[in-house]
Amino acid sequence: MTQTDLVPVRRALISLSDKDGLEDRARRLQDRGVEILSTGGTLKALKAAGIDALDVSDVTEFPEMMDGRLKTLHPRVHGGLLGRRDNAEDRESMAAHSIPEIDLLFVNLYPFERTVSEGAPFEECIENIDIGGPAMLRAAAKNHPFVAVCTDNEDADAVLEAMDANDGATPLELRRALAAKTYARTASYDAAVSSWFAAENGETAPAYRVFGGKLIEALRYGENPHQAAAFHAGGAPRPGVASARQIQGKALSYNNLADADAAFELAGEFDPEAGAAAVIVKHANPCGVATGKSVLDAYERAFTADPVSAFGGIVAFNQPIDAETADALTKIFLEVVIAPDADKAALDILSGKTNLRVLLTGSMPDANQASWTVKSVAGGLLVQERDWGMITAEDLKTVTEREPTEQELADLLFAWKVVKHTKSNAIVYAKDGMTAGVGMGQTSRVEAARLAVRKAEDTAKENEWDTPMTQGSACASDAFFPFADGLEAAISAGATAVIQPGGSVRDDEVIAAANAAGIAMVFTGMRHFRH
């Protein structure tokens, strides 16, 4: 096949679900003498705008039918897209069967993803699975040496600009790039359909698993400067970093996005109707988390929990930011602030910190929403449900002689939410709705407990407290204590109540140690490993 550089556009087929900007782009084609073929609603819109367009049915001599299910699946359409202009047999076939050459295809697909996200019934979702569109797009992309293919307005604008620069022709480099993008778009579309169908069928391990997503932005680099990276939107719609509006600040880095996601997901554990919560994250781990009487109160308490680690951190809120909170946020160097919203006064104050990245999501994520996570390994993918497991007071089993007090119970549940979002092995101390010490990412659970204590002691010195906040605290462990030594470390730190999954062969030893110390301990029956 000849790789011809400039190919003139003489005939275009346009069939759009989203018709935004259609009139302007079609008129530019018409002004260049391009014959336009179209279908259904797109054809009606073109004619209503006074733009000449030919019904595809007049070309195929076959009527649109089955409520639009069948209209472009015809040899005269696909032959026009697939026919090789430099192949004598193809040209003979096209002439013999009155197949017109199609030089430009502009198709955006039925809004399947949006239909699903809006909670439409099964039958409506099925009808929003596009068949003819992907078939045409793939055909045109395959024949990119001669056909330019567009899947969205950005593509169409690129083609129009190229035609303006090349006397109505498109260059090969652009057609190749559009072809590559088209296959990615149809793959992403199929991924959405197959994932939805598997979920509808209750399949947790389908024979084939595919993921797709649209580029949000290319990133300067990944975790380190020598790693290429990009940010794509994909999966189930969820308020967070992928949907947020960046109000100000420099471009977000890979690490900024990962940390902001970790912070906001933890903030999502706290119901905004129940009160304000603030989360400070550093290197994907919480370093200060607190609830408060106001957004400002929650932030000040979270900051107090570990003022050293907060420097250069990410702050997330479960309620909109007000002016007072914004003023407090400007007193320290922060990388990112993410919240559902912020009032104008707050934004005016934050704008004084020009490098501070401010993200507004519009709402909070649902901590109970099921979705999937994926991690690449050599030669494969590890896929699992997002950890949406929740524990309430009714789910707890007291295993010690002493029951937790009302305040201890509240702190236990608070600590349990935080430990869920802390890298394993993880130990979290909490007191009065505020983290007192966080130990994360250790190879030994007892070492995680000791690390949390050391951090609590450092925080006490920084705040000039007489004693660390671990005194009289509640302690959460993301998995069971395999030995009594981890619990004993928590007791030595001053913990008076412990929450843990239970399930160790040495549970009896651990319970005995708790009873000997006179502390309360509850089992959740659920662990929160976060490797």
Does the residue 342 lie in any domain? yes
Contact 315, 336 (CB under 8 A): yes
The per-residue pLDDT for 371 is 83
Lowest mean pLDDT, pick from 17-21, 209-213, 247-251: 209-213
140, 257: one domain: no
The DSSP output letter for 404 is P
CATH of the domain at 403: 3.40.140.20
517, 419: one domain: yes
- SS3 for 74-116 is CHHHHHHHHCCCCCHHHHHHHHHCCCCCCCEEEEECCCHHHHH
The per-residue pLDDT for 2 is 56
Region 125-153 average pLDDT? 93
349, 473: one domain: no
Q: Quick one: pLDDT band at residue 3, thresholds 50, 70, 90?
A: low
Region 89-96 average pLDDT? 89
Does the residue 215 lie in any domain? no
Nearest CA-CA partner of 6 in 177, 181, 163, 151: 163
Region 63-76 average pLDDT? 76
The tally of domains found in the chain comes to 3
User: Mean pLDDT for the chain?
Assistant: 92
102, 58: one domain: yes
17, 160: one domain: yes
The per-residue pLDDT for 214 is 85
Domain that holds residue 336: 240-360
Residue tagged active-site, from 144, 232, 283, 455: 283
Does the residue 365 lie in any domain? no
CATH of the domain at 142: 3.40.50.1380
Final residue of a structural domain among 200, 215, 232? 200
Does the residue 89 lie in any domain? yes
Contact 268, 386 (CB under 8 A): no
Residue 118: pLDDT above 90?
no
Residue 503: pLDDT above 80?
yes
The per-residue pLDDT for 67 is 73
172, 33: one domain: yes
170, 302: one domain: no
Region 41-54 average pLDDT? 91
427, 300: one domain: no
98, 12: one domain: yes
Region 459-465 average pLDDT? 91
171, 314: one domain: no
Does the residue 373 lie in any domain? no
Final residue of a structural domain among 175, 200, 225? 200
461, 322: one domain: no
Does the residue 247 lie in any domain? yes
Please report the sign of the dihedral spanned by the C-alpha atoms of residue 510, residue 514, residue 515, residue 520. negative
Rg (CA), the chain: 29
Does the residue 382 lie in any domain? no
Mark whether 283 is an active-site residue.
yes
Does the residue 19 lie in any domain? yes
Residue tagged active-site, from 19, 44, 97, 142: 142
Mark whether 232 is an active-site residue.
no
Quote the CA–CA distance of 238 and 244 in Å, as a whole number.
Answer: 10
The per-residue pLDDT for 340 is 98
Tokens encoding 501: 């999954």
Final residue of a structural domain among 172, 200, 228? 200
409, 291: one domain: no
Task: Read off the pLDDT of residues 352-408 as tens digits, 9 standing for 90 and up.
Answer: 999 999 999 999 999 988 888 888 889 898 989 889 999 999 999 999 999 999 999
